[in-house]
Chain A
Amino acid sequence: MDTFVMRHLPALLIATPLFAAFLMPLVGTAGRTARNAWAFLGALLTAAIGLTLAWKVWTTGTVLYVFGAATPQQTLPPDAAFPIRIMFQVDAMSALMAVIASLSALGITIYSLSAESKQSGLETFYAMLFLLIAGVLGMVVTGDLFNFFIFLEISSLAGAALVAYRIDDGVAVEAGLKYALLSTVGALAVLTAIGMLFAQYNALNMATLASRLQFTALDKVALVLLAVPLAMKCGAVPMHFWTPDTYTTAPSSVTAFLVVSSQASLYGLFRILYTLYGDLLQFSWATFGWFLIVLGILSMFIGVTMAIPQKDVKRLMAYHAVSQTGYMLLGVGVGLAVLGNADALAKYGKTAMAGGLFHIINHAMYKGLLFLTAGAVFYRCGTRNLNKLGGLGHTMPWTMVFFMIGALAIAGVPPFNGFASKLLIYESVFRFSPFLSIIAMIVSILTLASFVKVFHSMFMGPPRAEFAAAREVPAPMFIGMAILALFVVVAGLAPQPFIEHMINPAVDALVDRAGYIAAILGGR
């Protein structure tokens, strides 16, 4: 089925949210219904395109999309060394991330229709949200390092604008400023690294660069300038400080998508380490593998222990987001540490990577769900303070059920999706180092303890007089939470099909550096 739409899926994946964003202020003038319908349509189309593109990748292999030329090698003038043009290279790893981002975008947009309905300036709000979505999707499908930087900037600026959007709240502006400052410093380092690589190799395409890299001292500097800011953007300890500040003050729907945005940075980090440098790290596999592992362990433990004393439910969840990122870093870090050992990679390295990557999609869904339930409670009660909340199980039973699903999933309790990915991580990491696996399990126990506290503080106890008027949230917010909750349950009850059809191909795509290069340069 080679229709126009099928041929241009990668371009449409970015064009659709961009189109929705740029036309939003115009459509908004037609009234509230038109604006909401436009937002819903934009998110629905983006999700449909994301899923179709992923399906195409899973069934036919890597999808290449070259802007302005028929093939990647075609140059203008014909004798030029290599074309500098935009190329999207969607392999199984990119497809996995595109599914996560586009599905989350749909659930979050539907939720926003109600959650933000009382606010003003919604045309610009949705325009920024769609820019954020476009930026994240661009980061995960591009095959070009400079384009990656552009999309990183789009997502950072749109994210900062959304965090600081309610200017009547001074704390929100401060959080937006912090996010913008750190993102800018990080992006500057990334741009410097790209400049270093371009100056040496006269290429920006990731596959071309990967084939030309010599691993000179300058390449090592570029690697650090790329990897560390991306680790910061995904909220790894000790560069996580912006995370609780930003996630707490942003509207819940924005926070839920900022989690996905952080995971796009995590994708960038993995792409740089595995695809761009890959085999070149043969003398440093253990070093960079342990770089991820140490960041992972620190993030897991410090994140969860900082969450336990929090009284603001969103701040508490923000620290848990840091903690859960640690699991992903640990799983994929173990894979990187044993990349040079084919036996260890086959026995447990790939399983650890699969656990880490499966945790990305699981985390996006259950953490998104948890942030949305926190938003639902704030929507009805007007406070996020756990000392003040209580007894909401009587008046908001469905929100309580959704919260329970998210809380049990994040704590790794079966049969929810968090358990499946954590089990893969525990068992495979145990074969690498039992100590690391034990820490991961202790962190899960602490996570459960933390969410028992939140559950008790928000939903348990007799009804409180100050929240007597609280009732279940409107239908769009309910549907947004239900979409994410459904995924959490389904991926928990039937994890193996997800592993086989989505995760294992993504692991193979990450490990197969030669295949990624050959897709652009030929030779396979």
Chain B
Amino acid sequence: MDPTQTLATGSGYWSPLLWLLALVVGLAVALVIRSRGRKDFREGEGRAPFISGNKEPEQGGGHIPASNIYWGFLESMKSYYGRLVPVHTGVPTDYVAWLLGIMALMLIIGLAT
């Protein structure tokens, strides 16, 4: 296999190797910036962060559970999920009903065309 080959998409091309080269250049730039940072800094020696006046949580106490992630997204999509989730009843006969329903619909469409 020739890794330098580009991916022809019919509308254009994409070269994974060139992309990788760009990634390496980006990483090199990041390393240069990092090397210009404070060298005397040691973990745990810094000042406590300001968290709206709250005490900094202990190590391990700052875990954010998965349910809290994208809370805003889920809240704004409540009406969508309110309709979609109840359809997933978990009842096997409902699953069969969906299969038969789609089959019936396609029979009508198939015979009509």
Contact = CB atoms under 8 A, between A and B. Distances in A.
Interface string B1-27: 111011111111010110110010000
Contacts of A415: 16, 19-20, 23
Contact of B16 (A287, A306, A391, A494): A494
A241 B110 contact: no
B31 interface: no
B56 to A, nearest CB: 12
A245 B90 contact: yes
B51 interface: no
Interface in A305-334: 305-306, 308-309, 311
B4 to A, nearest CB: 8
A245 B103 CA distance: 22
Contacts of A177: 92
B106 A493 contact: no
Contacts of B113: 283-284, 287
Given A178-B92, A386-B65, A415-B20, A228 B98 contact: no
A427 B88 contact: no
Nearest to B80: A305
A464 B64 contact: no
A386 B69 CA distance: 11
Contact of B66 (A181, A224, A386, A499): A386
B65 to A, nearest CB: 4
Most B-side CB within 10 Å, residue of A220, A350, A454, A492: A220
B20 A223 contact: no
B74 interface: yes
A454 B69 CA distance: 10
B47 to A, nearest CB: 20
Nearest to A452: B69
Interface in A149-189: 177-178, 181-182, 185-186, 189
Interface stretch (A87-95, A125-133, A257-265, A455-463): A455-463
Contact of A496 (B5, B87, B109): B5
A449 interface: yes
Interface string B50-71: 0000000001101111110110
A61 interface: no
A473 to B, nearest CB: 22
B60 A492 contact: no
B48 interface: no
A496 B6 contact: yes
B2 A427 contact: no
A351 B9 contact: yes
Contact of B9 (A181, A238, A244, A423): A423
Nearest to A221: B107
Given A309-B81, A387-B66, A420-B7, A427 B99 contact: no
A470 B1 CA distance: 39
Nearest to B10: A351
A382 interface: no
B84 interface: yes
A380 interface: no
Contact of A463 (B60, B73, B88): B60
A308 B71 CA distance: 10
Given A185-B96, A305-B84, A496 B7 contact: yes
Given A239-B99, A386-B65, A462-B63, A284 B110 contact: yes
Contacts of B89: 241
B84 to A, nearest CB: 7
A238 B102 contact: yes
Contacts of A56: none
Contact of B84 (A287, A306, A347, A465): A306
A456 to B, nearest CB: 7
Nearest to A468: B60
A242 B96 CA distance: 10
Most A-side CB within 10 Å, residue of B12, B67, B103: B103
A302 interface: yes
Contacts of B98: 238-239, 241
A212 interface: no
Interface in A418-443: 420, 423-424, 427-428, 430-431
Interface of B: 1-3, 5-12, 14, 16-17, 19-20, 23, 59-60, 62-67, 69-70, 73-74, 77, 80-81, 84-85, 87-90, 92, 94-96, 98-100, 102-103, 106-107, 109-111, 113
7 contacts: A182-B92, A182-B99, A217-B111, A227-B106, A431-B11, A461-B63, A463-B60
Nearest 5 A/B pairs, CB to CB: A386-B66, A351-B10, A496-B5, A457-B66, A387-B65
Given A181-B96, A427-B10, 11 more contacts: A177-B92, A178-B95, A182-B92, A232-B102, A284-B113, A287-B113, A351-B9, A388-B65, A391-B60, A456-B66, A461-B64
